[in-house]
Amino acid sequence: MTKRRQATEFAGGRDALASATPYGAAPTGAAGPAPALSTDLLLNVEDLHVSFATDIVNVPAVQGLSLQVRPGEIVALVGESGSGKSVSAHAIMRLLPRTGRIPKGRIQFEDRDLLALPEEQMRDVRGREIAMIFQEPMTSLNPVLPIGLQIIEPLQFHLGMSTRDANLRAVELLRMVGISDPEQRLRQYPHQFSGGMRQRVMIAIGLACNPKLIIADEPTTALDVTIQAQILELMKALSRDLGIALIVITHNLGIVARYAHRVVVMYSGRVVEQGEADAVFHRPRHPYTMGLLRSVPRLDRPRSGQLETIEGLPPSATDPLPGCRFAPRCPFRLPVCDTPPPLAPTDAGSLSACIRAADIAAGKLAWRKPAAVAAEAALRQDAAEPALRVRNLTKHFPVKTGLLARTHQVRAVEDVSFTVERGETLGLVGESGCGKSTVGRLILRLDAPTAGSIAFEGRDFAQMSRVELKAMRRKVQAVFQDPYSSLNPRMTIGQIIAEPLQVYGLAPNIAAARERVVSLLNEVGLRPELADRYPHQLSGGQRQRVGIARAIAIEPQFIVCDEAVSALDVSIQGQIVNLLEALQRKRGLAYLFIAHDLAVVRHISSRIVVMYLGRVMETADRDELCERPLHPYTKLLLEAAPIPDPSVEKARAPQLIHGELPSPLAPPSGCVFHTRCPIATSECRVEIPVLREIRPGHSAACIKV
């Protein structure tokens, strides 16, 4: 079809598109009934192999991926880092970097083999028939071009539209993705949009030429959980209404459960299991899938004693094992697993690459349950001063938007109060901009509060003498989010852990220091040989353990865990959480656990504090908060977090938050949440709600409860 004809076809089809469900209408439940799927395959990937050429050797990234997508279907490609899922997507679009090679495979898209197409024809496919959306909305748009230009580019290019027509279509697209005031917004630049809005723009660009397939590579990983829900619902609605097939690449099993029809699970470059979402989630037939499903903490189930985890580390990409890659970590391993396993059909209608799939189906193999732990009641020490008491903590940051401009105040933390008892964990939860990290920094005395008090073991910081403050340093330590930058790259592991011992004189000589280092390494589950390695030689999970060893080296009593597991793979997260809990039991530590993932926070904490835009919204015991939340924001957070169980998700019709996060330079008057609150009324705009106890031990800051 010539470009001109396509353009006019478009004009005719515009009305149909205009009536597509605009954002804001009530979503119709989870994945919904499967669309009337034609049996013709839209995309058929056969035995795809991808490798990267380095100076030394070819590193295999994907080995033997086979994937089918039907029109209108949503397929999820699931895996952790190093699984090859992202590489596969890039390979389908033929967007691999210069070092990428595709030695084997066939990618059949409708009637063409994409790998055999010359580059000009592949360019025609890209952006017109297959579109791609990337992970980082903040950097995926050109900062110096207005977004209108970036949206109409594919329209002019692929469809030959005139600028006027293209602009009209762009307005329509922006409206479809739920951006208000689209005519004005066309002329604006990416930095004037928030993260969620930029991702909507990316979706609009993807939709521009009405593609048949959209590949979304971790589209919501960089977004807050409430925004994530908005974006995913949007994508699902668009897919359903416009009949566009979606390949969603993610590591988040909850998202998969809520949105995908079919699931492909990858591990170390190979497919280990694939099938209908129901089958894979409820009747997994591969140990990795089983382990993955079990290691994700779930909000809808009561908290188990310990997280079940997959032991061991992800495999190295440069030195791939022959045979089943998962074997070293598999509890059901047999000697025969050293030969490459084929992908074979199972009783559940899925495909599994495990030789023992039949045994799993027969129920002969069960995941090892973790050892039961002593009841937690022994933990609470009564009649002792709480480890930490925070009262009316406030922190404002001065910001100058221009040289002669007035200094504005960013109200990062406003009137926050909570208490952490000795030996217990307080979870601090909230989305970006809520101030939770700032609270952590204030407690660690990396910054000074503008107002309010912090008292450690009964003594207020402001009243401590210099000697006491120095002594206090020993008692309060921290574990940070990013395992890659929380260790000094120029020091060995042994030096990093030994340093606090030396500074505080806890080891009289080198031999004693070495001994303590080894015992600390053992305690965090690392082998003593690692003491002579440098951080860049360790994996993320191992580095995080080193960070924990460093923190406990000087025997603190309180540890601030600032997003300590957020940057880790799902299967490693569980290990670290279990480690933290074990250390807490053994040493009587108190934790302030700061995170944005409510499920993990609920697992590890005894009490939870929910923050929004610098203020506390709700405080309660963990089960009470998750089962009977009071504050509308907490309810929305719980709704937004997807649960890794398709049947549960089908039964939910999650309510979505609307609007964007207000700027912390100008927080809303009265209740800071009222601009996005579903039950807000005019009083909410005026009165700042006080945190008051509604039920015993359960406080909320809302005038409506």
- Tell me if 192 contacts other proteins by CB under 8 A: yes
Chain residues 391-430 in contact with other proteins, contact rule CB under 8 A: 401-404
Classify each residue of 656-682 as buried b or exposed e, where b means 16 or more C-beta atoms within 10 Å of its C-beta: bbeeebeebeebbebbbbbbbbeebee
- The binder of other proteins chosen from 15, 536, 682, 696 (CB under 8 A): 536
- The binder of other proteins chosen from 476, 583, 590, 609 (CB under 8 A): 476
Min dist CB 360 to other proteins, Å, is 22
- The binder of other proteins chosen from 4, 527, 685, 692 (CB under 8 A): 527
Sole residue written with tokens 């329509």? 172
At 70, the amino acid letter reads R
Tokens standing for residue 186: 């066309």
Min dist CB 381 to other proteins, Å, is 25
Which residue lies nearer to other proteins by CB, 483 or 644? 483
Question: Is residue 551 within 8 Å of residue 564, measured between CB atoms?
Answer: no
Which residue lies nearer to other proteins by CB, 147 or 264? 147
Q: 303: helix, coil or strand?
A: coil
Q: What is the DSSP letter of 631?
A: S
Min dist CB 292 to other proteins, Å, is 18
Q: What are phi and psi of 387, to 5 degrees?
A: -60, -40
- The binder of other proteins chosen from 503, 510, 653, 686 (CB under 8 A): 503
- Tell me if 172 contacts other proteins by CB under 8 A: no
Which residue lies nearer to other proteins by CB, 307 or 680? 307
Q: What is each CA distance from 428 to 12, 417, 605, 622, in whole angstroms? A: 53, 12, 9, 11
Sole residue written with tokens 């940070």? 480
Instruction: Provide the angle, in degrees to the nearest 10, between the axes of the packed helices 510-523 and 540-552.
Output: 120
Q: What angle do CA 503, 541, 478 make, to 5 degrees?
A: 40
Among 507, 441, 503, 453, CA closest to 478: 441
How many angstroms separate the CA atoms of 393 and 414, rounded? 6
H/E segment holding residue 500: helix 493-503
How big is the site for other proteins, counted in residues (CB under 8 A)? Answer: 79
- The binder of other proteins chosen from 136, 172, 359, 624 (CB under 8 A): 136
Q: What is each CA distance from 43 to 119, 215, 428, in whole angstroms? A: 19, 11, 44
Chain residues 560-599 in contact with other proteins, contact rule CB under 8 A: 575, 579
Start-to-end C-alpha separation, the chain:
61
Min dist CB 545 to other proteins, Å, is 8
Sole residue written with tokens 């504050």? 631
Total residue length of the chain: 705
- Tell me if 525 contacts other proteins by CB under 8 A: yes
Sequence-separated (6 or more) residues with CB below 8 Å from residue 674:
668, 680, 684, 685
- Tell me if 480 contacts other proteins by CB under 8 A: yes
- Tell me if 127 contacts other proteins by CB under 8 A: yes
Which residue lies nearer to other proteins by CB, 275 or 535? 535
How many angstroms separate the CA atoms of 454 and 465, rounded? 15
Chain residues 139-158 in contact with other proteins, contact rule CB under 8 A: 139-146, 153-154, 157-158
- The binder of other proteins chosen from 529, 627, 683, 687 (CB under 8 A): 529
- The binder of other proteins chosen from 500, 574, 644, 689 (CB under 8 A): 500
Query: In degrees to the nearest 10, what's the CA dihedral of 140, 142, 143, 145?
Result: -150
Min dist CB 484 to other proteins, Å, is 5
Stretch that binds other proteins, among 276-284, 533-541, 643-651, 662-670 (CB under 8 A): 533-541
Which residue lies nearer to other proteins by CB, 329 or 631? 329
Question: Is residue 205 within 8 Å of residue 150, measured between CB atoms?
Answer: yes
- The binder of other proteins chosen from 4, 191, 368, 369 (CB under 8 A): 191
Which residue lies nearer to other proteins by CB, 359 or 660? 660
Among 206, 290, 285, CA closest to 248: 206
- Tell me if 490 contacts other proteins by CB under 8 A: yes
Min dist CB 163 to other proteins, Å, is 14
Min dist CB 94 to other proteins, Å, is 9
At 40, the amino acid letter reads D
- Tell me if 478 contacts other proteins by CB under 8 A: yes
Which residue lies nearer to other proteins by CB, 440 or 644? 440
Min dist CB 651 to other proteins, Å, is 36
Write each residue from 285 to 324 as x if it is in contact with other proteins (CB under 8 A), else as -, in one continuous string: --------------------------xxx--x-xx-----
Question: Is residue 345 within 8 Å of residue 333, measured between CB atoms?
Answer: no
- Tell me if 487 contacts other proteins by CB under 8 A: yes
Min dist CB 444 to other proteins, Å, is 5
Query: In degrees to the nearest 10, what's the CA dihedral of 561, 541, 572, 336?
Result: -170
Which residue lies nearer to other proteins by CB, 38 or 58? 58
Min dist CB 535 to other proteins, Å, is 7
Tokens standing for residue 610: 């929910």
Write each residue from 432 to 451 as x if it is in contact with other proteins (CB under 8 A), else as -, in one continuous string: ------------xxx-----
Min dist CB 36 to other proteins, Å, is 29
Which residue lies nearer to other proteins by CB, 357 or 546? 546
Which residue lies nearer to other proteins by CB, 330 or 351? 330
Which residue lies nearer to other proteins by CB, 195 or 646? 195
Chain residues 251-290 in contact with other proteins, contact rule CB under 8 A: none
- The binder of other proteins chosen from 328, 345, 349, 697 (CB under 8 A): 328
- Tell me if 124 contacts other proteins by CB under 8 A: yes
- The binder of other proteins chosen from 339, 485, 647, 663 (CB under 8 A): 485
Tokens standing for residue 458: 């009964």
Which residue lies nearer to other proteins by CB, 136 or 376? 136
- The binder of other proteins chosen from 220, 268, 486, 544 (CB under 8 A): 486
Chain residues 198-217 in contact with other proteins, contact rule CB under 8 A: 202, 205
**Summary count for the chain: helices (H), strands (E):** 23, 24
At 93, the amino acid letter reads M
Which residue lies nearer to other proteins by CB, 181 or 529? 529
At 406, the amino acid letter reads R
Which residue lies nearer to other proteins by CB, 145 or 653? 145
The edge-to-edge listing of strands for the beta sheet with 388-400 is 407-420, 388-400, 451-456, 459-460
Please state whether beta strands 615-621 and 607-612 pair in parallel, antiparallel, or not at all (unpaired): antiparallel
- Tell me if 530 contacts other proteins by CB under 8 A: yes
Min dist CB 270 to other proteins, Å, is 18
At 57, the amino acid letter reads V
Tokens standing for residue 100: 């990428």
At 474, the amino acid letter reads R
Question: Is residue 126 within 8 Å of residue 211, measured between CB atoms?
Answer: no
SS3 content of the chain, % helix, strand, coil (to 5): 35, 20, 40
Which residue lies nearer to other proteins by CB, 164 or 536? 536
